Structure 1
Amino acid sequence: MPRRNRPTRAHRSRRSGLFGRQFGTRLTSYAPQLGPIVAIPGVMVVIALAVAGPHISETASQALFTGDWSQSHTWAGMLLKTGLTALSFLAVAVAAAVGHSVAGRSAVIPAALGGLAATGVQAGVLAGLAAGAFAGVTTLALQRVPVPPRLHGLSSTVLFPLVTTVATSFLVIGVVGEFLNSLSEWLHGELAGLEFSNAVAAGAVLGAMACADLGGMVTRTAIGFGSVELGGDPSRFSTLNMTLMAAVIAAGMVPGLALPLATLVRRGLFTEGERGYARTGWLLGAAFLPEGAIPFALADPLRVLPASMLGGAVTGALVMDLGATSKTPYGGVFALGETGRPLLFLLAVVAGVLTTTALTVGLKSLPFAAPARATATRLATSG
């Protein structure tokens, strides 16, 4: 009796590599459509800051409560509240889009609920990406489970989505959320000693943190560490804390400015959707909204995120060395009036932007980046 042919190690390797590329293509196929979801609320925030200044963040609720719609301040408050709320729920949109890309409509609701769980623990869009991918894979796996015909409708509409939702929520809250929370607490503790022993190194760490998850828990930890003493009487502000705050703000501006610049330097490395988004995406970077780099990062996280973190680290270290300060934890260029040594602040931002731009272009141009470029081309022509 002839022996059945077994796949060789080379065949298994090629098959697993093909599956990995196909799964990666599915995982990032939503990215070209993500730009407007980020750009519209981001531009709303930028308009609010341009109209009413950075302190609208402190008075937006009061302005809306008075309800005097003849005043520009009230409209600015509405724009700010709407834009920031929409940006805070990006994890839901990302999770739903990824789940649909991986497993179709059946995965959308479990994935979106997983993204909502990520929002609840402030885990950010990367946790939303994980939630969508996990919900999609779990949905595909459960679709292979045989069920009696009389239970088919119940299993597809309630049972399987419920199991997927519970499993995804546990992944987001019990695994990713707990890990990020522990990491943030550890980083906060390490920074507490580092800021006095080596301020430049503290600035580099804070700068990398500001770009690590683009508005997620690690970014929020950096903002919270820098702003811990920026409340109350301005005359009692610590110069060190104002410099730390400036390092976080300057670094957080880097990804949103550098990635649009990279699309101008090497257009062929980016999809048409990314290039179109870049025309407005840089405004989010200028306003210190790290979320501005999300469409680029989720399409190619293994290259964009390290490049962003390195540029942020360069900027954070330079701010600490040059002594720029900030009295406010928001606003970006719209808060330059609250910034000490603004030209040195902007110089540090430029250095980080050039670093991230060069590294992003370099990483995307390497030979092993060819499949990613081919995927980008296919997505651009099909979308």
Structure 2
Amino acid sequence: MKEKLTNIGIPVALLLLITVIAIAGILRVKADEKDEAVAVTVPVELNVDGNVKGSSYGLIVTIGNENAQGSQWNQAASGAKVALERFNRSGADLHLATEDDRGTDEGARQAVENLAAQKVSGIVISSSGDHVQAAVQAAKERNIPVILPYENSIDDARSLQPSTESLNDVLSAEHPGGKGIIRIDQEGFAGIDVPAERTLSVNGFTDINTFSQSLVKDTAEAGSDTVVFVDASAYQEAKLTRALQEAGLKTQIVLGPQATSPAFNDVFMKDNQSTVINAQSIGFNAGDSVALQSDGQGRSMSAYLQMVKILSESKDAMSVMGDQKFSDVAASADSRSHDALVALVRATEHAESIAPQDVKSSLNDLKLSSADGITSADMDFAQHHVIQDAPLLLSANAGDVEMRVADANAPSHLVWFAQA
């Protein structure tokens, strides 16, 4: 599927950011000298040099239910659509081709082949799981650069995720050697091998409610330093978190990065009358709360969210697959897929040509900051895990999404933010 998004909608007055997080401590002001290059108000449009005009980029997603590996991120991929529109509003004339890899090795290889035939300059793989390796290998054979917003670095592909080692460091800082950690593993899920005192397993046949009630009894006398770490897919993480919460678990719950996916939100919030989630996740702070920061990163996130809302108010804007109105996925459009496409465009901007091999060479030396349009901390693509920041514990609240959509009756959505 190939699309060229035309200039739609007129920017409204500056949006009043309505947030559910009334916690002043989430503001992490960074007195970084690079912020001086970021205007007080970051424009919604992103400018590029003329040699980038007319270039095409590939986006690989996984469509399917929870049995389709990587499907938890398919709605998050609409963040790339936001980046596309931001560039095209400045006359960049960029194109985005989207392919479904079906969550399989064969589908992943075919997706890359289809994108290569469309002469893309680079590929964003908005999926995760073992099958991503097949896509990365196929891209490497064709010398096409790849960025992975939701998967660890594979081969020469660059990742916007924290490394496994840095994620382990977050927990080991308070639980050296796994002391006090009870890890729940989902069978067949390749997650984070966090050291633990005790490990439990669940699978598709596990009665989650009975399992949760049993764990609550086992930990009734546990000390305050006990942590339950859930290492599972987004779908299973959400089911376990809700079941443990409803069973009355008193110990702290920590979730892997899958918890920040749209699928986790959908499963956890479905028919849920509670607006409380008694769990944390680990990763980079990539949520909407970043817009409350007074630094360049905060202003860049604010500009991103403005474009999300502009697209959600357009009757013509569609999702990356073209099968839904953008307003239906606006709450899930993720800043990391946005940043991945921004990085590929910036690499093309500095490359000798829009040919993928030239863009790949340029990408490997690329350094980006908020001034370039990314919403994350600084990036250095000389590293395989490019974000120059440390992961941390994230908390979440369920609230409205009025900073993204105009519908006051839109369903509540989980908003993740850095702990104070």
TM over 0.5: no
**Would you tell me which structure has more helix in proportion to its own residues?**
1
Greater CA radius of gyration, 1 or 2?
1
**Would you tell me which structure has more strand in proportion to its own residues?**
2
